[in-house]
Chain A
Amino acid sequence: MIITRDNYESFFLDYLEGNLEEAMIDQFLDFLEQNPDLKGELQLFENLRLPEEQVSFSGKKQLYKSAAEEKLKSENQVVAYLEGDMDDEERKSFEAFLSSHPDVEKEYKLVVKTRLIPDLTVKYANKHALRRQTATAVLINWVARVAAAVVLVWGVSSVIQDQKQAGSPNVSEQFAESAKTTLPVSKPESGDLVQVVDNQGKINENVKVEKPESRKSRKERLDDQKAVTEREPDVIPEIEPLLARLETESAGNQLAFSRPANASNVKASPNVVTLEEFLADRARKAGAEGLFSVQRIVRVGLGVAAELSGERIGYSVNDGKISSVDFESKILAFSIPLTKK
């Protein structure tokens, strides 16, 4: 290569650093002789040397690795192995390291024990409160509720209906029984003659009472009825059973029918009510009000209140309805009317 004024710089650097080839040295010196200005520049390069500074790094201690840090590195490796953070090569290398270092292996066994295992007996108790119903389930639930309500209403109403229907005969039976027991004089003996009021209110006297147990066939009864009609046209041919009459006739007629002739004069005054009339009236009211009527419930409640208050609380009844509620004490007394005048 020929040294020219265009490429002399790289030869200068090689010469100064001692890297110039020996074959080039003669050519290089000839070039300097031919170019004295560049020879002066070379002398400037020779004087250009940086002074050596005495600077040292003061944080060497921080870079030193202590035994503790060596241990930490070991721990991290153990944890990384446990957590599966090593690749295959690292894993194999570490397994080899473990087998040759019992102390590290002991550390590893301890780290394995740090795996937390959940206590499966701990459960969330209120899962049912978190659940939501699907649209189908909501629909089924509503249908079931409506069906249950319908069945309930039907059941209750049928029970009340049955009680209403059964109420009158039962009370009538009791009434008849009580009449037998409380008023023995009114019970006619077989063959006795009693006064009887027919459907038109006409009194028929001297009707012969037959024994209830002497039941006859329909034909026999028709024969008897025919015979009696021939003998006395105005007299009712047969006394029908009391229960049948009570079902079809008004209370007044029932009482008149069942009252014996010798007890008819008891009702001399219209204010006097016989036991039979009283019971019949109660039976009629019970049938009209129903078992769970508001009036009945209120009366029961007021009765309880009267008992608890020592009769300070009372109530007045007019036509079967509570007309007023009364309160009476030593310092205060008042009455609350409940019906319009």
Chain B
Amino acid sequence: MFVLPDKKGKRKSMNAREYNQSVDWYSDNVFRFILKNIRDEERARDIVQDSYEKLWRNAANVNFEKVKSYLFTTAYHTMVDVLRKDKRQTYTDDYRTAEGTHDDQYSDLAEILNEAVKQLPDIQRTVILLRDYEGYSYKEIGDITTLSEAQVKVYIYRARVFLKNYIGKMDLVV
């Protein structure tokens, strides 16, 4: 999936230098993505570490050009596994909190938006974070989350509308 043949037909695997480069380039991004999803710094660190461990083990089979997708995919599925194991967390699209049902006062848009993102259903939060943080296309997000492009599009639309309604109500409150 992540290995592309070169012009001579051989697979281009990743060496230690490229692996270290991927640490420098993508570890922060993966960490932010996971942290924003699960809001647990310790677990987010573990997931990043685990993802890079898997990357290193499969370095011979991973093309450097696809390493970012590999990392996000691995981190995402590791996160889902972790959340499934933790029964306190739910990971269904049905779960939705009431929009704008809190009494907190927010000083700026970033805080309002941050609170709104917390209240998004998990899958919607995941796809919109991949879209906005990393600029992935629907297809790339679909590859990472094993969803169809149509599903990704629907989730992103729903998330946008939810966020728009949330900050719209907060604008009125503020």
Contacts and interface: CB of A to CB of B under 8 A. Distances in A.
23 contacts: A76-B157, A76-B161, A79-B156, A79-B160, A107-B164, A110-B168, A110-B171, A111-B160, A111-B164, A113-B109, A114-B164, A114-B167, A118-B29, A118-B32, A120-B28, A122-B31, A124-B27, A125-B45, A126-B45, A131-B20, A132-B16, A134-B15, A134-B20
Interface residues of A, number: 32
A10 B11 CA distance: 70
B144 to A, nearest CB: 17
A115 B19 CA distance: 31
Give the interface size class of chain B.
35 or more
Interface in B10-40: 15-17, 19-20, 23-24, 27-32, 35
Nearest to A137: B16
A116 B157 contact: no
B45 A116 contact: no
Contacts of B31: 122-124
Contacts, number: 83
Given A122-B28, A126-B45, A114 B16 contact: no
A110 B167 contact: yes
A213 interface: no
Given A110-B168, A113-B167, A131 B157 contact: no
Interface of A: 72, 75-76, 79-80, 82-83, 85, 107, 110-111, 113-120, 122-127, 129-135
Interface stretch (B48-56, B61-69, B95-103): B48-56
A165 B45 CA distance: 57
Interface string B133-169: 1000000000000000000010011011101100110
Nearest to A116: B132
A110 B49 CA distance: 37
Given A126-B45, A127-B27, A115 B132 contact: yes
Contacts of B45: 124-126
| Most chain B beta-carbon contacts within 10 A, residue among A123, A129, A131 | A131
Interface of B: 15-17, 19-20, 23-24, 27-32, 35, 45, 48-49, 52, 56, 109-110, 113, 117, 128-129, 131-133, 153, 156-157, 159-161, 163-164, 167-168, 171
B117 A116 contact: yes
A122 B27 CA distance: 11
Contacts of B167: 110, 113-114
A119 B128 contact: no
A130 B132 contact: no
